[in-house]
């Protein structure tokens, strides 16, 4: 929206007599606006999408985009910015450049004296008699909302003040979608309407605090006894918010962040269930299942090619029928519904059971609506299942169908189970056969490296053409590199080529004869990564190919030497950037966001998409490397473990990993699973956002842990304080910093570091959270544990700045504080 029209007020809140045309007063013309007390709202002209049409509207004065909260002449635009707003004969009237009447408040022509026009501090444009009560208005904009209502506005029944969508984002003309409130059936219903009543859909019933899973942004106002009630929009978590009906009929909640002067999307109805208008008879939609439409217990899918709903497994027997309860439901469409009052709410079920045509019942609690019993007759349609919110719906089923699921689903599950069983049997048979064949062959050991002349080494790295075995591990997929070639490439392991040092040994930079740069991980004799870990890393990473995993080029075994040769990554490890004052300034928000998503993609590949299910067990910032394009690559698979596809968790008495990144169940009980990696990823994500080391918290435990510190600030409403000031305050990054993305990442991080493994999402869900703009994330639970070092001090080996790694310690000595 254009910001070229500047603000100048000619006249504010003057009492006006409307007895003659001489009292005609000019309020606004070209390049002028009217501000509310406190400079919160502003009335003026704007042109959405920089088109030639101009409109009179209201917006937040701090909003640089002039996002319209209300539009006066939505269906009669000004052709150009030459319009004037006058106050004449007790009416606000908008004229175009030719002095034609474009819009007015249309107050009746009764003669009134001492009439004033005001833009109130809540954004309400009003016309009132100066001496009248404050809330008695001749006209107010709050009675005529356009596509939005915001904090302080009311949604009333029977007054026609429903939301009307824009035609498109650049045209505020009245669209085809409407959203209103009715109380004709039972309580407040949100309803959708298209084309002025050609299609009406009751969206959801007010449950005392919200509609469905919408945030609790409304409260009931008015006298219950007189039925003069309305819904008043409140703040969203203490912040100014608005509910907007979009051009496509999607309604969303936006929250205003004054610090960044932007509107952020905080909730939307737009999900896969919204796109499915109805799952038809006796079925409900769930955004978290595949397929989306599900039959109710006691019903099965109709025998059609396309989904046409469900039918009863067994016909009702009337008096002997039972009810199955569906939780967190959007109630069925209101068709053939009866509402009754009952002093004993338990009678609702009995009344429904007594009528053989009653198919479902629902009770509004006595505290909320004084005991209304709602009963449905006929087929049930239009239902959906929420993660939270909604209502308990009781659906009638035959007594023999209690616990009966969709027959097609049951048969499909039997077929899948049988297929899995056969596949598993064949796989086990193949493994046994291969093992037997292997035992028939003599194990081939790795030969001593051939000492060649420097000239031959300069030609190429010597690679054995034979198939090698490292213990029982076949390495035909990975070349055995010559020790002399590696020594020459690293300038005989010169200190000038040293890239870093850890508990495993030293990493050197090298350059092969063909010019290819490599990174050589040379394990020391006292390395925490022994022969088993070395074999493990070679066998695993040789068979893994993903853009977010480091690539292993070869290995070298020479007497007591064990070396791994990786691709060289120019930007080293993530921690060398994240915790360095000069380098961290270059990690702007889009870069950090991309790095976080890249690591998640790599971890998802290990857990789900690779040939094996792999648990990394030592994911941390120092084990994430960055290439020349700052693409993250997970490295160091020495501690990784392969899981079977049907294996969910394992237990070990040798706990390995790094403090600050270890999940509670792993640190204390030696239990690890994909959820252990999810915990480590959550800590890593919080480090990326905050710029703080998790190990720094473990040294003091003042705040228990990094995620404990994040949680405290999150619950105290200091969420922006969690974000690294460098990405918020630096000029280079603030231009592209997106607050809602950072807050979503913090939310995801807290979900990943929950104490109970079953509460943490899988990496597939994390990727969905990253990619969705409308998904409502569950509330994280408060972390309770802090794993202290205590008696483990002698067992720790220091790897770098404030980084401590556990080296194969018995879990029985771990101290949980």
Would the pLDDT of 361 be above 60? yes
Q: May I ask the CATH class of domain 575-813?
A: mainly alpha
**Residue 556: how many other CB atoms lie within 10 Å:** 22
CATH of domain 1-144: 2.90.10.10
**pLDDT at res. 682:** 96
| Angle between the N-to-C axes of helices 674-690 and 706-715, in degrees from 0 to 180, rounded to the nearest 10 | 70
Pairwise CA distance, residues 553 & 247, whole Å: 54
Lowest-confidence segment of 118-127, 766-775, 778-787 by average pLDDT: 778-787
Q: May I ask the CATH class of domain 454-567?
A: alpha beta
- Domain regions of the chain by residue span: 1-144, 158-270, 276-405, 414-441, 454-567, 575-813
Q: What is the DSSP string of 472-487?
A: TEE-TTSPBBPHHHHH
Give the model confidence (pLDDT) of 669-727 as tens digits: 788 889 999 999 999 999 999 999 887 664 444 556 889 899 999 988 889 899 998 88
Give the model confidence (pLDDT) of 198-238 as tens digits: 556 777 777 666 787 788 888 888 755 545 678 899 886 67
Residues 6+ apart with CB under 8 A from 647: 613
| Angle between the N-to-C axes of helices 589-604 and 674-690, in degrees from 0 to 180, rounded to the nearest 10 | 170
Pairwise CA distance, residues 102 & 214, whole Å: 37
**pLDDT at res. 787:** 42
Residues 6+ apart with CB under 8 A from 216: 209, 210, 234
Would the pLDDT of 272 be above 60? yes
Would the pLDDT of 9 be above 60? no
**Higher pLDDT pick, 89 / 345:** 89
Q: Which two tokens stand for residue 359?
A: 């198919």
Give the model confidence (pLDDT) of 67-121 as tens digits: 999 999 999 999 876 788 888 878 899 998 888 899 999 887 665 667 888 999 9
| Angle between the N-to-C axes of helices 674-690 and 739-752, in degrees from 0 to 180, rounded to the nearest 10 | 150
Is the fold of 1-144 the same as that of 575-813?
A: no
In whole numbers, what is the pLDDT of the chain averaged over residues? 76
Asked if residue 85 lies in contact with residue 27, where contact means CB atoms within 8 angstroms, the answer is yes
798 known ligand binder: no
Mean pLDDT on 519-545: 68
Pairwise CA distance, residues 116 & 458, whole Å: 93
Mean pLDDT on 784-807: 41
**DSSP SS3 for 155:** strand
**Higher pLDDT pick, 200 / 314:** 314
**pLDDT at res. 785:** 53
**Higher pLDDT pick, 565 / 109:** 565
Would the pLDDT of 633 be above 90? yes
Pairwise CA distance, residues 663 & 671, whole Å: 9
b/e burial code for range 71-109 (CB count within 10 A of at least 16 → b): bbbbeebbeebebbbbbbbbbbbbbbeeeeebbbbebee
Q: Which two tokens stand for residue 518?
A: 């490599």
Would the pLDDT of 179 be above 60? yes
| 624 Ramachandran zone, left/alpha/beta (phi>0; psi -120 to 50) | beta
Q: What is the DSSP string of 265-289?
A: EEEES-SHHHHSS---BTEEEETTS
Give the model confidence (pLDDT) of 583-614 as tens digits: 888 888 889 999 999 999 999 988 887 777 88
Q: Which two tokens stand for residue 455?
A: 């000239």
Nearest to 459 by CA among 485, 437, 441, 433: 485
Pairwise CA distance, residues 601 & 547, whole Å: 9
Catalytic residue among 147, 482, 618, 636: 618
Mean pLDDT on 40-57: 88
Q: Which two tokens stand for residue 644?
A: 């079977």
Which burial class, exposed, middle or buried, applies to 290 when counting CB atoms under 10 A from its CB (0-12, 13-18, 19+)?
Answer: exposed
Would the pLDDT of 817 be above 70? no
Strand extents, DSSP E, 667-716: 671-673
**pLDDT at res. 67:** 94
- Catalytic residue list contains 133: no
Would the pLDDT of 449 be above 60? no
Mean pLDDT on 660-665: 86
**pLDDT at res. 600:** 95
């Amino acid at each position: 929206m254009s910001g070229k029209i500047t603000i100048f007020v000619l006249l504010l809140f003057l009492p006006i007599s409307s007895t003659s045309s001489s009292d005609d007063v000019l309020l606004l013309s070209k390049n002028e606006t009217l501000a509310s007390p406190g400079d919160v709202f502003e009335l003026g002209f704007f042109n959405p999408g920089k088109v030639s049409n101009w409109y009179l509207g209201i917006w937040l004065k701090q909003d640089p985009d002039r996002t319209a909260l209300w539009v006066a002449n939505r269906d009669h635009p000004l052709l150009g910015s030459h319009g004037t707003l006058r106050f004449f004969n007790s009416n606000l009237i908008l004229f175009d450049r030719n002095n034609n009447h474009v819009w007015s408040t249309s107050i009746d022509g009764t003669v009134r004296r001492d009439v004033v026009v005001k833009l109130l501090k809540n954004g309400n444009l009003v016309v009132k008699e100066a001496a009248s009560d404050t809330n008695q208005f001749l006209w107010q904009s709050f009675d005529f909302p356009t596509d939005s209502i915001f904090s302080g506005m009311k949604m009333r029944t029977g007054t026609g003040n429903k939301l009307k969508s824009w035609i498109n984002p650049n045209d505020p003309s009245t669209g085809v979608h409407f959203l209103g409130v009715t109380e004709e059936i039972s309580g407040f219903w949100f309803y959708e309407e298209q084309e002025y009543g050609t299609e009406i859909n009751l969206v959801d019933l007010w449950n005392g605090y919200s509609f469905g899973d919408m945030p609790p942004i409304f409260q009931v106002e008015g006298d219950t006894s007189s039925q003069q009630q309305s819904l008043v929009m409140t703040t969203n978590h203490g912040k100014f918010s608005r509910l907007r009906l979009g051009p496509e009929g999607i309604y969303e909640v936006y929250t205003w962040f004054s610090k960044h002067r932007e509107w952020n999307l905080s909730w939307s109805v737009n999900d896969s269930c919204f796109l499915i208008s109805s799952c038809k008879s006796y079925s409900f939609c769930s955004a978290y299942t595949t397929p989306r439409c599900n039959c109710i217990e006691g019903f099965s899918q109709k025998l059609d090619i396309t989904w046409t709903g469900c039918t009863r497994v067994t016909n009702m027997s009337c008096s002997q029928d039972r009810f199955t309860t569906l939780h967190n439901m959007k109630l069925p469409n209101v068709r053939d519904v009866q509402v009754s009052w009952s002093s004993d709410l338990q009678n609702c079920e009995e009344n429904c059971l007594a009528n053989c045509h009653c198919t479902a019942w629902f009770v509004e609690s006595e505290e909320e609506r004084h005991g209304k019993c709602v009963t449905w007759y006929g087929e049930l349609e239009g239902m959906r299942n929420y993660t939270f919110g909604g209502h308990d719906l009781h659906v009638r089923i035959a007594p023999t169908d209690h616990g009966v699921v969709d027959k097609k689903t049951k048969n499909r599950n039997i077929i899948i189970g049988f297929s899995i069983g056969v596949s598993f049997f064949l796989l086990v048979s193949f493994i046994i056969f291969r093992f037997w064949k292997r035992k028939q062959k003599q194990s081939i050991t790795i030969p001593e490296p051939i000492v060649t002349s420097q000239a031959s080494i300069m030609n190429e790295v010597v690679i054995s053409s034979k198939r090698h075995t490292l213990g029982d591990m076949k390495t035909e997929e990975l070349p055995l590199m010559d020790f002399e070639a590696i020594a020459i490439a690293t300038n005989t392991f010169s200190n000038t080529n040293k890239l870093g040092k850890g508990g495993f040994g030293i990493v050197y930079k090298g350059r092969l004869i063909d010019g290819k740069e490599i990174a050589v991980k040379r394990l020391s004799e006292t390395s925490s990564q022994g022969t088993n870990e070395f074999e493990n890393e070679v066998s695993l990473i040789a068979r893994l190919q993903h853009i977010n995993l480091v690539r292993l080029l070869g290995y070298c075994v020479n007497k007591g030497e064990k070396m791994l040769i990786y691709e060289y990554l120019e930007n080293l490890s993530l921690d060398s950037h994240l915790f360095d004052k000069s380098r961290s300034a270059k990690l702007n928000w889009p870069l950090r966001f991309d790095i976080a998503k890249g690591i998640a993609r790599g971890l998802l590949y290990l857990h789900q998409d690779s040939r094996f299910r792999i648990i990394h067990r030592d994911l941390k910032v120092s084990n994430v490397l960055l290439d020349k394009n700052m693409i993250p690559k997970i490295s160091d698979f020495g501690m990784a473990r392969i899981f079977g596809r049907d294996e969910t968790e394992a237990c070990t008495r040798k706990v390995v990993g790094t403090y600050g990144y270890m999940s509670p169940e792993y640190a204390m009980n030696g239990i690890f699973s994909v959820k252990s990696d999810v915990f480590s990823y959550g800590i890593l994500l919080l480090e990326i956002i905050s710029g703080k080391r998790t190990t720094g918290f473990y040294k003091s435990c003042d705040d228990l842990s990094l995620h404990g510190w994040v949680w405290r600030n999150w619950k105290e409403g200091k969420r922006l304080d969690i974000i690294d000031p460098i990405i918020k305050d630096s000029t280079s990054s603030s231009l592209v910093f997106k607050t809602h993305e950072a807050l979503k990442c913090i939310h995801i991080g807290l979900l990943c570091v929950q104490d109970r493994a079953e509460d943490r999402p899988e990496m597939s869900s994390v990727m969905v959270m990253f990619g969705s703009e409308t998904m409502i994330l569950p509330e994280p639970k408060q972390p309770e544990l802090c794993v202290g070092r205590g008696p483990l001090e002698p067992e720790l080996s220091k790897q770098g700045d404030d980084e401590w790694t556990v080296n194969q310690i018995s879990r029985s000595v771990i101290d949980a504080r």
